[in-house]
Amino acid sequence: MTKSEKERWEQERGRGYNRYLIRSIVRFGLLFAVLMMLWEIGWPVLKHRPAEPVWELAVKFMFYALFFGVWMGVFTWRPRERDYGKPTEDEDAP
């Protein structure tokens, strides 16, 4: 991690872990949920089957958005925190 990356991560880190998870849900989870809903609606249409009720699709949408968003948030926070504790590449140079 370079010094500038470390400074950006320090700002992100200062905002807090919970806010990072919420931003991850918005950034990754909603996109994944939209793609999954296109699949959930599109596949039955292609197979000429009836679609699921709207309330089931809404529950699945929320599950996909929350699960994937939090999962991505946790698994992107950890390596950045680990790299933050290491010396920067700029400091290693003599």
Rounded CA-CA distance 29/84 in Å is 25
Cβ-proximal residues to 61 (8 Å cutoff; 6+ apart), any chain: 33, 36, 37
52-93 residue pLDDT tens: 899 999 999 999 999 999 999 999 999 888 888 888 766 555
Query: Which pTM was predicted?
Result: 0.75
| Domain extent listing, the chain | 3-92
Q: Taking a C-beta distance cutoff of 8 angstroms, is the pair 1, 83 a contact?
A: yes
